[in-house]
Amino acid sequence: MNANELKSLFRQQAQGALALNIAYIGVVNGLFSTLHELGKAPAPALAKAAKVDPGYVKRWCDAAYAFAYLDADGDEFILTSTGQAMCPEAPDTLMPLAVQSVLSAHMAERAAGLMRTGERPGEGVLAERETVLPWFGPMLEANFASLFESTICGAVPEFAAVDARGGLAVDLGCGNGWYLRALARRFGKLRGLGIDGFEENVRQAEGAALKAGLAHRLKFIQGDIHALVLDEPADLIAMNRALHHVWEKDTDALFTWLRANLKPSGYVAIWEPAWPADRAALRDPGRRAMAFQNLTEHVQGNHFLRPDEIEAAFARAGMQSQRYLFVQGNEAIVVAHAA
Ligand SMILES: C[S@@+](CC[C@H](N)C(=O)[O-])C[C@H]1O[C@@H](n2cnc3c(N)ncnc32)[C@H](O)[C@@H]1O
């Protein structure tokens, strides 16, 4: 590729980032959802209905029009099909891509500065952008809930065993609680306890459980995974994208806790992005985002794990594990029970 072709390629890629940045502003201010409800509206009416500043909305509408999220009829705007797809309520919404793009830019800026000192400030970095934090849970839910419900739950036989026995499911690092809601909807005899470090996530999880009519079976608490004391042993302990957050602290103590807090025939189910053993696999376009994210995980004191590292930790704790891979091997579920 010559220099001009390279520039043209990178300009196109930069436009993709701008398109997601514009979408992000609309997503977090409810502009896509509000215009979807209104059907058609001039910028001042959209601003009024969304309860945001009309001056900013006027500029946003021009930019969203330029990136073809909006069509115009005189002074009135309507959502294009891409604009509709950005509505967080849309089936298979594009919202996670918009949220991820701004979160990635924030984390890249933090990594760039922190690399000079080696400081790793931890989870709190996620909360530094006040508009991003409330979207963290919905982004993960939109990315992974349907994969769990449509593919993973039915393909991992241990979930059928959990359904048959019912009891208590504990979700460590539960985010907005989507996983316990999905389990409780499917498995009528199951109760759930979710714990998360961020108050915002716990509030969202409680609200969503109430809305789903599941509040009597699901409880959510704010706290630290390392300091959790259960009132009763669990039938299932799950960690979805949470193990790598606590791995560097004291892995063996955590796995000993998992075993000690499980009923004798219960299961631990760990879901993690599967870091490949071979670096060359990172060139696969399906794994590039994981490679970027692993740098931003470093900022938080984390790193991604190979499935065999998780299996080895279970073995050290005297547990037998089984690995299931999904999404071209990029998503690993490791399920374990006492040996
Ligand atoms: C990547 S998110 C996954 C959230 C959720 N399990 C999901 O799949 O959507 C990791 C979660 O772990 C939580 N977390 C990380 N370390 C924690 C700790 N020590 N105690 C409690 N929660 C923690 C974070 O607050 C965050 O919500």
Q: How far is the CA of 317 from the centre of ligand 1 (A)?
A: 22
- pLDDT at residue 266 is higher than 90: yes
Ligand 1 neighbourhood includes 140 CB (under 6 angstroms) = yes
Q: What is the pLDDT of residues 91-134, one digit of tens each?
A: 999 999 999 999 999 999 999 999 999 999 998 999 999 999 99
Closest residue by CA, ligand 1 atom 20:
224
Q: What mean pLDDT do residues 156-167 have?
A: 95
Closest to 184 (Cα-Cα) out of 236, 228, 242, 136:
236
- pLDDT at residue 82 is higher than 90: yes
Closest to 179 (Cα-Cα) out of 195, 155, 167:
195
Q: What mean pLDDT do residues 160-181 have?
A: 97
Q: How far is the CA of 188 from the centre of ligand 1 (A)?
A: 25
Closest to 225 (Cα-Cα) out of 195, 250, 199, 201:
195
- Tell me the C-alpha distance between 331 and 88, whole Å: 24
- pLDDT at residue 338 is higher than 90: no
Taking the CA of residue 239 as reference, the ligand 1 atom at the shortest distance is 6
Q: Tell me the residue ranges of DSSP E strands in the chain.
A: 41-42, 70-73, 76-79, 167-172, 190-196, 218-222, 234-240, 262-273, 319-326, 331-338
Cβ neighbours of 330 (radius 10 Å): 17
Give the residue, out of 174, 220, 224, 297, with the most ligand 1 atoms within 8 A of its beta carbon, to mutate for a pocket test.
174
- Tell me the C-alpha distance between 269 and 218, whole Å: 18
Q: What mean pLDDT do residues 19-34 have?
A: 98
Q: What is the pLDDT of residues 125-135, one digit of tens each?
A: 999 999 999 99
Closest to 40 (Cα-Cα) out of 67, 64, 72, 65:
72
Q: How far is the CA of 173 from the centre of ligand 1 (A)?
A: 3
∠ CA 148-151-157, nearest 5°, is 90
Q: How far is the CA of 242 from the centre of ligand 1 (A)?
A: 5
Closest to 175 (Cα-Cα) out of 159, 153, 208, 197:
197
What is the DSSP secondary-structure string of 318-331? Answer: TEEEEEEEETTTTE
Ligand 1 neighbourhood includes 197 CB (under 6 angstroms) = yes
Please give the share of the chain, as a percent, with pLDDT higher than 90.
98
SS3 label, residue 236: strand
Q: What mean pLDDT do residues 304-311 have?
A: 98
Closest to 276 (Cα-Cα) out of 255, 257, 289, 290:
290
- Is residue 40 within 8 Å of residue 78, measured between CB atoms? yes
Q: How far is the CA of 47 from the centre of ligand 1 (A)?
A: 34
- pLDDT at residue 269 is higher than 90: yes
| Angstrom distances, CA of residue 103 to CA of 136, 153, 204 | 9, 29, 19
- pLDDT at residue 1 is higher than 90: no
